[in-house]
Amino acid sequence: MFHKWSIAWRLGILVLVGVGTVLAAMTGYSYFSVKRILEEEMMDKARQIATAVTVHVETSARPVEDMAKDLTVFIETVPVAEEQAYQLLERLINSHSAVFGAAIAMAPQDGGRAAPYVYRTEQGLRRTDLRQGYHYETSDWYILPKELKRPVWSEPYFDEGGGNVLMATYAVPVRTGTDKETVTGVVTGDMSLASLAGLLTSLELGRSNYAFIISGQGRFIAHPDDNFIMRESIFSVAEAARNQHLRALGRKMIRGESGQAAYTSEVSGKPGWVVYMPIASTGWSLGLFFSREALMARVFELNHIQWYLGSAGFILLCLVVTGIARSITRPIRQLDKAARKLAAGDLDAPVPYINGGDEVARLAESFTIMISELKVHMDMLQETATVKERMESELRIARSIQMGLIPKTFPPFPDRSEFRLFALLDPARETGGDFYDFFFLDEEQEQLCLVIGDVADKGVGAALFMAVTRTLLRSLARENQEPAGLLSRLNDELSRNNESCMFVTLFCAAVHLPTGRCSYASGGHCPPVVMQPDGRLISLKDAKGPVVGGMEGMLYTAGQYLFTPGDLIFLYTDGVTEAANPERALFGEERMHRALQQAQTRNTEKLLRHMRERLQEFAEHAEQSDDITMLAFCYHGPASSAVNEAVDNAPENSRVNREGVDRL
């Protein structure tokens, strides 16, 4: 799929994917590192704030503790009367702004003494005797220091007398007895927690962040939502949310540990973190909640310029890459267009000129060179074609001369029953100058002359030489009916004025039809084969003589053969034996003899067509290099006995002169 896209697309997409990945990785890395830095920064800030708040609360609690301890020392040392006690308390409260109220509560069984309590109201300090209608001996602030025998910060509580103020009481056991062990009463100092909420809201922690304080039992004593104060504890929230982690966190907080943890706001239900720190003296714990949302808003704030720059850069890069990709591929596309025109045959199509020396420019240059080379080549080709055309036309002429001279009507003498005759000439592309001929030598038409020849050259010259040969042969045959003499004469005639030094191989046989006596002569031609009725093959190579037309005054010896009815003579040129197959093997005489025997026919036409088929089979489409000429003559006996014409297996004629005949 990808490989089907254009180069410009592929280049563009690959570059953009690569750059985009790097860009995204960088932005992602920066996002996470900014987030981590901000988280650390936030935690640091949270710890600082928490420290400040706890110090602040401690410094509010410390004067209360100090006052109560001082007062304890005082009353343990000096017994005070009721009025003195009230005055003491008033003076102490006035001098300690952090103290909301203070009391001296001796054990109820310790006589009928008052339990003076002084506390702040909007109208100034107010005195109360706690013994009146207030069973303080059941209060935690009394029981706990008494039983624990040490100063104790009480759990914060709503003071029902003093205007529903949430307060915590620091209570110190008093030992006025002689044994200094028995706790005889309790001195208290109250701290109002009303200012805690104001302190926490003044922290400016940021939107959706907040601070809270839990008591030593996990109860919210300062919280942005008033409904949580004193009602809910970190454990009740954990229980409602079925959140074991929150419960575990609460346990850490009330144990006085400090740290940070993931936290889900009990107000908004949003996730975030809490940083917690103990307020040691009171046993409370401060929590600062930071919402993830607020942090992420800051992360985005710091990151968004990077996002915008990254996106803008990416878009710019898209445009640049597209431009570059197109500029690289434009000349290629132009070349492509030109190449297509070229392929369509338009060699004059302009090749685009490309500036510079880069690969594409060099390709265009090669293209131009290729086109000019192609043009030269085309011109040469055209010239060769003209020459060839002329040659072809010459060959055509030669062929028409050749084919026009040889007799082509078969059977040539349909009224003659003594024999059957058939001939074939398959010219090669370059005419070889083969010919055959047959004619009667005498007026009585008893002597039939069979001729086959092969001019030793090709083309028009050969054709003309063949025409001359044939014409001479015919005219000379009128005066000289013996083949040997005829050839002698022909040789002399052709040799004379033969400046082109052409010659011809010839086989000539004169058959006396009434008797079957045959006289033959050969001028360097391959000896014909006689197929006797019993299938035996005899080569007629008795006659000897040189090629015809080579030199004057040559002598030719004659051979004799006596045809018996059924004998068939097969004349051929070297185109048959030298026919070659694609492996350049020659057909050869042996194959020829076998093919003749396999034919098993006396029908001259069938035989020659059979031979032609064998030759074609052997050649297997290899180009024919020479003319193939074959002539078959089958003797049926004298005209009187011509009824027995189709004698295939006539008995051997013992009277025939077998001299000079080879048995094959």
CB closer to another protein out of 140 and 336: 140
Rounded Cα distance between 322 and 640, Å, is 104
Query: By C-alpha distance, which of 230, 201, 196, 216 is closest to 278?
Result: 216
| DSSP for 268-306, written as a single string | T--EEEEEEEEETTTTEEEEEEEEHHHHHHHHHHHHHHH
Closest CB 193 distance from another protein, rounded Å: 13
Of 142-150, 183-191, 202-210, 346-354, which part binds another protein (CB under 8 A)?
Answer: 142-150
Size of the site for another protein (CB under 8 A): 28
**Burial per residue of 599-630, b for 16 or more beta-carbon CB atoms within 10 angstroms, e otherwise:** bebbbbbebbbbbeebbeebbeeeebebbbbb
d(CA 194, CA 221): 10
Least Å distance, CB 114 to another protein, is 21
Q: Which is nearer to another protein, 129 or 239 (CB)?
A: 239
Identified binder of another protein from the candidate list 100, 116, 155, 172, rule CB under 8 A: 155
Identity of the residue, 209 or 282, whose beta carbon is nearer to another protein in the bound complex: 282
Q: Return the number of the residue (132 or 178) whose C-beta is nearest another protein.
A: 132
Are the C-beta atoms of residues 420 and 648 closer than 8 Å to each other?
A: no
Q: Which one of 10-18, 45-53, 215-223, 312-320 is the stretch in contact with another protein (CB under 8 A)?
A: 215-223
**Least distance to another protein, CB of residue 189, Å:** 18
Mapped onto helix, strand or coil, the DSSP state of residue 501 is coil
Distances (CA, A) of 587 to 346, 528, 541, 664: 49, 16, 20, 18
Query: Nearest distance from residue 118's CB to another protein, in Å?
Result: 23
* Complex with another protein: residue 155 or 482, whichever CB lies closer: 155
Q: Counting contacts by CB under 8 A, is residue 158 touching another protein? A: yes
Which residue stretch of 213-221, 365-373, 394-402, 608-616 sits at the interface with another protein (rule: CB under 8 A)? 213-221
CB of 293 to another protein, least distance (A): 27
Q: Toward another protein, which CB reaches closer, 234 or 538? A: 234
Interface residues for another protein in 216-275 (CB under 8 A)? Answer: 217-219, 230-236, 239-240, 247, 250-251, 254
Instruction: List C-alpha distances in Å: 13 to 71, 304, 313, 321, 329.
Output: 85, 26, 16, 9, 15
Q: Which is nearer to another protein, 35 or 131 (CB)?
A: 131
Interaction between residue 128 and another protein (CB under 8 A): no
Q: What is the rounded CA–CA span in Å between residue 189 and residue 212?
A: 24
Non-local CB neighbours of 379 within 8 Å, separated by 6+ positions:
none
Q: Which stretch binds another protein (CB under 8 A): 123-131, 144-152, 294-302, 323-331?
A: 144-152
Q: Which two tokens stand for residue 539?
A: 């080569």
Q: Is 123 helix (H, G, I), strand (E, B) or coil?
A: coil
Q: Among residues 643, 625, 647, which one has the least CA distance to residue 634?
A: 647
The CA distance from 307 to 24, in Å, is 9
Q: Report helix, strand and coil shares of the chain as percent, to nearest 5.
A: 45, 20, 35
- State the nearest-atom distance from the C-beta of 77 to another protein, in Å: 27
Return the range that interacts with another protein (CB under 8 A); candidates 2-10, 141-149, 450-458, 526-534.
141-149
136 binds another protein (CB under 8 A): no
In the complex, the residues that contact another protein under the rule CB under 8 A are: 138-140, 143-144, 147-148, 152, 154-155, 157-158, 217-219, 230-236, 239-240, 247, 250-251, 254
